[in-house]
Chains A and B, each alone.
Chain A
Amino acid sequence: EIVLTQSPATLSLSPGERATLSCRASQSVSSYLAWYQQKPGQAPRLLIYDASNRATGIPARFSGSGSGTDFTLTISSLESEDFAVYYCHQRSNWGGVTFGQGTRLEIK
């Protein structure tokens, strides 16, 4: 099973700033990586799939990059509604199905 490690655990930023969240896989997942956003009391929401493709209805300020073992989710200019927990997720035939432990993005 592939382990996903997210960093940092908590990120404190102000609205308007740029956020960079990282996800590292214990072995290559090719580009089979997604990012989800979860707000308190809500279900997760798919943001990015296949490392860099925005899901339907996701604003352009969200972007994903990376391949192999190192991935990044970037939020170009934070809006108030972006403060949440973010999870990376991989589904590969060789590595099972796993989620990262999450990065909490909080208002500074």
Chain B
Amino acid sequence: EVQLVESGGGLVQPGGSLRLSCEASGVTFSSYAMSWVRQAPGKGLEWVSAIIGSGGSTYYADSVKGRFTISRDNSKNTLYLQMNSLRGEDTAIYYCAKALGPYFGSGSYSDYWGQGTLVTVSS
């Protein structure tokens, strides 16, 4: 059974940094692209970033480009999201999600999701 477990969320001041992790089990991790998707309290879903299975290509939403960095360690079955220069509008539950295949092209959807980790940016 595929399981994704996020960690690393918490309360951080504006301008601060956090590093989220997502540990995967029950899956050949390197065979799948992975994404981070966030959801502000009471709001809809917003895609944040993605990385292909090999880690060789990364993708970002305009709202986080230059501030967030996605990476993965396939030897540890773990996905990361380094978040710098955090703003109030980054407050959300952050989900990691597994793609259907190794790439992030057209038709790349997420079939398994973690339960999310809450990031709160506030002074």
The 10 closest A-B pairs by CB, nearest first: A43-B113, A97-B47, A99-B45, A34-B109, A32-B107, A92-B106, A49-B109, A46-B111, A93-B106, A32-B106
Q: Does A102 contact B (CB under 8 A)?
A: yes
Interface size on A, residues (CB 8 A): 26
> Is A56 in the interface zone, CB < 8 Å from B?
yes
Q: Which of A9-40 contact B (CB under 8 A)?
A: 30-32, 34, 36, 38
- Contact across chains for A30 and B106 when beta carbons are under 8 A apart: yes
In the complex the two chains form, is A93's CB within 8 Å of B105's CB? yes
A55: chain B residues within 8 A (beta carbon): 111
Indicate if B61 sits at the interface (CB-CB under 8 A): yes
A98 to B115 CA separation, bound complex (whole angstroms): 20
Q: Do A89 and B109 have beta carbons less than 8 Å apart?
A: yes
A residues in contact with B105, CB < 8 Å: 91, 93
Q: Which residue of B lies closest to A102 (CB)?
A: B44
Q: Does A8 contact B (CB under 8 A)?
A: no
Closest chain B residue, CB of each to CB of A94: B106
Q: Is the CB of B44 within 8 A of A46?
A: no
